[in-house]
Homo-oligomer: A and B are copies of this chain.
Amino acid sequence: MARVRLIDVAELAGVSMKTVSNVVHDYPHVAPALRSRVQSAIDQLGYRPNLTARRLATGRTGMVALAIPEIDHPYFSELSRHIAEEATRRGYRVLIEQTLSDPTAERAVLGDREAGLVDGVIFHPVQMETLDIAKLDAGTPLVLLGEAAMPVMTDHVMIDNVQAALDATRHLLSSGRRRIAFLAVTADDITGSTSQRLLGYQQGLLEAGVRLDPALVLEATEFTAEAGVRAVTEAIVRGVEFDGVMCRDDRFAIGALKALQAAARSVPADVAVVGWDNTALASYTSPTLTSVSPDKAAIVVAAFDLLEERIAGYRGVGRHVVVGHSLVVRESAPGH
């Protein structure tokens, strides 16, 4: 069966296309009798407006692209859920663009790929830097997430990573920990998130009068739980002593828990562990994980607010919105 078009309905109902369109759009000035006649023609034919055609005519697509490195990373999948729900609430659909942290894919997000396809893009870059983005930004409304890049003209939503790391470090210090490891820095991490978290960690130690020990800043090969296990295990083998671990994300924290368990160190009695992102994983572990919790719902709302202003025509300089965070205290690093 061929698709039913507006004009088919119009012919059946004996009216013009515009009148059918008015009925479809609930335009107020349609006589009740006509309205019901048109409506029954719509029902009879099973008419569904062709959204692509509507888009071409209106110029609005009703879609936003969400470009993230990995859809199955717990943080991003939870963020995606918020995005999907907020998008539905605001009448958008979500196109997923998985970059896998690949520079080419990231560039493509901003380049030709979204031409006329979406009304806006929410993008969490990993590899692209500020200048790259500024150069490629093609005019499609864009909101950046995370800390990797912040071009002057582009809107941006983030949490205060330094402050959050400071909060977490103070929490560990306040429970009496003094030898706190940082898990972990990686060689190719240019995102800036890690260095900000490291900064907050160092700041916390300094303000408590604790000497910084480079041996406590662990190195990992990649962002996985397994790499976290290896980093902590090696530190233990090397004889590094520590009574707390501040992790840059929950998966590292899970690695830390595993490594400590394997080394027969008790958590939190011997070593306290703090994660980051407060993903569902944090409540799945035993002991459950104390974790820095970025306000994901607020991130998403702020991102959509900025995006919709851009879509509505705002052309000014980039706004940089900092949303809240908290520390969710669980078993791995209880209060003192």
| Chain B residues in 8 Å Cβ range of A81 | 70-72, 98
* Chain A residues touching B, range: 35 or more
Q: Does A84 reach chain B (CB closer than 8 Å)?
A: yes
Contact with B along A88-124 (1 / 0, CB 8 A): 1000011111100000000000001001110000000
| Stretch among A52-60, A190-198, A207-215, A300-308 lining the B interface | A52-60
Q: Are B51 and A117 in contact (CB under 8 A)?
A: yes
Q: Are A71 and B56 in contact (CB under 8 A)?
A: no
Q: Does A186 reach chain B (CB closer than 8 Å)?
A: no
Q: Does A49 reach chain B (CB closer than 8 Å)?
A: yes
Q: Are B84 and A98 in contact (CB under 8 A)?
A: yes
Min C-beta distance of A71 to chain B, whole Å: 5
Q: Are B61 and A72 in contact (CB under 8 A)?
A: no
Q: Does A167 reach chain B (CB closer than 8 Å)?
A: no
| Chain B residues in 8 Å Cβ range of A78 | 72
Q: Does A266 reach chain B (CB closer than 8 Å)?
A: no
| Chain B residues in 8 Å Cβ range of A139 | 1, 3
A116 interface neighbour in B53, B84, B96, Cβ under 8 Å:
B53
8 Å CB interface, A1-59 against B:
1, 3, 46, 48-53, 55-56
Q: Does A258 reach chain B (CB closer than 8 Å)?
A: yes
Q: Does A280 reach chain B (CB closer than 8 Å)?
A: yes
Q: Does A281 reach chain B (CB closer than 8 Å)?
A: yes
A280 interface neighbour in B49, B61, B72, B138, Cβ under 8 Å:
B72
Q: Does A63 reach chain B (CB closer than 8 Å)?
A: yes
Q: Are B116 and A52 in contact (CB under 8 A)?
A: yes
> Given the complex of chains A and B, what is the CA–CA distance between A280 and B254 in angstroms?
12
| Stretch among A172-180, A237-245, A283-291, A319-327 lining the B interface | A283-291
Q: Does A225 reach chain B (CB closer than 8 Å)?
A: yes
Pick 28 A–B contacts, CB within 8 A, sort by A.
A3-B139, A48-B116, A50-B116, A51-B115, A51-B116, A52-B52, A52-B56, A52-B116, A52-B117, A71-B71, A71-B84, A72-B78, A72-B80, A72-B81, A74-B74, A77-B80, A80-B96, A81-B98, A85-B98, A88-B98, A93-B96, A95-B96, A225-B284, A257-B286, A258-B286, A261-B286, A281-B284, A286-B286
**Further 5 A-B residue pairs, CB within 8 A, beyond A46-B138, A93-B96:** A53-B116, A77-B80, A85-B98, A93-B97, A95-B95
